[in-house]
Amino acid sequence: MTTPRPFGRSLCAMITPFDASGALDVATAARHAVRLVAGGCDGLVLNGTTGEAPTTSDAEKTALVRAVREAVGGAVAVVAGVGSADTRHTVALAREAERAGADGLLVVAPYYSCPPQPAIEAHFRQVADAVGIPLMVYDIPGRTGVRVEVETLLRLAEHPRIVAVKDCAQDLLGSTKVIANTSLAYYSGCEELNLPLYAVGGAGQVSTVANAVPEVFRAVLDTFDRGETGRAARLNRLALPLVELMMASGLPGAVTAKAVIGAGGVRAPLQSADPLTVERLRAARDTLMSHHDEWG
């Protein structure tokens, strides 16, 4: 069975750059997007968690999609985050992202109000019914307070425009069940599960750490696909120190990603990393990059 990959295989959850005044910096975003593609990303996810979507306006979200779409051309999938806690607002964002040139939509489960599963299912269906482009369900209960349960995903898979899941549920058993029983493309949203999920039929990854080292995460998948599973595991292990510092150090990925690549500040309530943290992040990145001869 061929694994469906509607948005590519190695995607980056891209940062949203701001200038010194705190305004959206579309020129820097465009340059960063081009670098990510050159580093091996075949898809970019904008306006998500790493993109600081809770603090950007609707107009900024649209401007970012347009700028990145123009910068990378049509060969790379551009997936626009349109999640909100309000279904009507999500539908409006989805329609605007489609008009701006997005290839697909990342839709998070409605957060804070903690709706039951039938309401969550209705939310995703209403968004999918409102547009003509495909949708990726974003299951991240640690942020939203609600899980998109396995049985809900099995039903959502019946919708022709609900084609993928960004999986941050950290439930490999449940994810494997959905992969086995649907055509949903599963993208790991947790770096430590990128390779395990891929090994059981996942489509690929949506990585925050790829903002810093896109080549590494692409190389892990390439190596696995060549049947060199032991080597893929070694490459994956080499990345773990940077993954741990960026994603499990107590700081949000938006903060650590911007710190390690020198992409400027974040918007409040987030705060930029302190100098010692920046030093540690860059040292871990440099150590990982010193192994570049193993990625081929």
Asked if residue 115 lies in contact with residue 123, where contact means CB atoms within 8 angstroms, the answer is yes
CA distance 177 to 162: 17
Asked if residue 44 lies in contact with residue 73, where contact means CB atoms within 8 angstroms, the answer is no
Residue owning tokens 């547009």: 131
Asked if residue 126 lies in contact with residue 94, where contact means CB atoms within 8 angstroms, the answer is no
Q: 10-13 and 204-207: which strand pairing?
A: parallel
The set of catalytic residues is 138, 166
CA distance 189 to 187: 6
Please name the amino acid found at residue 273.
A
For residues 5, 105, 79, 103, the Cα torsion angle rounded to the nearest 10 degrees is 80
CA distance 224 to 205: 13
142: number of CA atoms within 13 Å, CB side? 9
Q: 185-188 and 43-46: which strand pairing?
A: unpaired
Q: 104-108 and 10-13: which strand pairing?
A: unpaired
CA distance 142 to 267: 21
Residue 79: both structure tokens together: 């997936």
